[in-house]
Structure 1
Amino acid sequence: MSEEQMQGGCACGRVRFTANIANDEAYLCHCRMCQRATGSVSIAFKQVTLTDVAWESEPNWYASSPIARRPFCAQCGTSLGFAFNEGSDKMDLTVAAFDDPSRFVPKWHFGAEEIQRPWLNTAGLPEHKTTDYQVLVDKWVEATGSVPV
């Protein structure tokens, strides 16, 4: 797979980045630090080289532990990644922060000691589209004039 420049950013658009992406490999981190930092059972990350990320508008940084910090948007709260304070030329960007995350495929789990197993394989659970929840659609149309996408 050839290298491609991909863009991404936060929910409100204040923080934007461009990253050189060489492959589609991503991973899920289940460590307790990531769970608490995101409020989720895991987070999908794409590891990149620090020099392959250009912040078009600088994120805020949170010192999430004595060894690492996390980029985020202080305006909307979007979690954008993870980086060691020192000693690594790599960082992780959150897969969902990319404008089109569909290229990425999970290839491994990290922090496996904290995997919340019931959330791993959700195949077979009922699936509901956003547009099928009429209360949400009505509120969205009232607020924006269009159906949510």
Structure 2
Amino acid sequence: MTGKTYLSGGCQCGAIRYRASDFGRSSLCHCRMCQKALGGPFAALVTAKDLEYTRGQPKHFQSSNKVKRGFCGECGTPLTFEFDGWAPDVTVTTMDDPERMPPVIQLATEMRLPWCERVIDMPGLSEDEIAKAAAHYAAITSFQHPDHDTASWPQEAKTDE
């Protein structure tokens, strides 16, 4: 690493890790292909001009004649949007620090689901509902890879000694 600040990320299980230091603009894409590829109302993407895989390689699905999408073959995490002849985009939420890439533009807004405009105004759980769910959430053990690079994958199981 020669004076560049690299940001890293990877899939949910940790089989694939990546890093990049030269980013373009971050966007939200509402097109139907992005909705289906990510299983959500839009894709948050950022161009990673010097994308480098530090662990594993994604599998790809050719979603159109011009675009292939990279994903983890182990856990299925959507990782990239790769348009022929352009630098790849990575999915912002696979980055270890996704808050560092806030979207600055929306694409394909004519395909935006109408209810997306109301999401910010939707209520969350009440304090009583949160308290009732606390024990349920406390009992969850995550098998997700942490939001940082690790020396190996899969990580060794930790035991109490």
TM-score by length of 2: 0.74
Higher strand share: 1
Equivalent residue, structure 2, for 1:93: 90
Amino acid at match of 1:67: K
Q: Deviations over 1:79-134 (max 9, x none)?
A: 001002x322x1110000001111111111111220113213422322349xx333
SS in 2 for 1:81: strand
Indicate the structure (1 or 2) with the bigger Cα radius of gyration.
2
CA distance in 1, matches of 2:121, 2:107: 24
Q: Following TM superposition, by how much is the alpha carbon of 1:32 offset from its aligned partner in structure 2, in angstroms? A: 0.9
Equivalent residue, structure 2, for 1:32: 32
Q: How much identity, in percent, do the aligned residues show?
A: 32
Query: Structure 1 residues 21 and 128, CA, compared in 2 at 3 Å: closer, same or farther?
Result: farther
CA distance in 1, matches of 2:23, 2:69: 22
CA distance in 2, matches of 1:48, 1:138: 36
CA distance in 2, matches of 1:22, 1:81: 14
Equivalent residue, structure 2, for 1:72: 71
In structure 2, stretches of 5+ residues that fail to align are 143-161
Q: Deviations over 1:24-77 (max 9, x none)?
A: x4110011111111111101001121xx11111211111111211111001111
CA distance in 2, matches of 1:94, 1:4: 19
1:1-149 equivalent positions in 2, closer than 5 A: 4-22=5-23, 25-49=25-49, 52-56=50-54, 57-84=56-83, 86-88=84-86, 90-128=87-125, 132=130, 133-134=133-134, 136-140=136-140, 143=141
Equivalent residue, structure 2, for 1:147: none
- Does structure 1 retain, via aligned residues, the 8 Å contact 2:23–2:47? no
Equivalent residue, structure 1, for 2:148: none
SS in 2 for 1:123: helix
- Does structure 2 retain, via aligned residues, the 8 Å contact 1:27–1:110? yes
CA distance in 2, matches of 1:100, 1:117: 29
Amino acid at match of 1:39: G
CA distance in 1, matches of 2:40, 2:120: 19
CA distance in 2, matches of 1:100, 1:128: 26
How many aligned residue pairs are there? 134
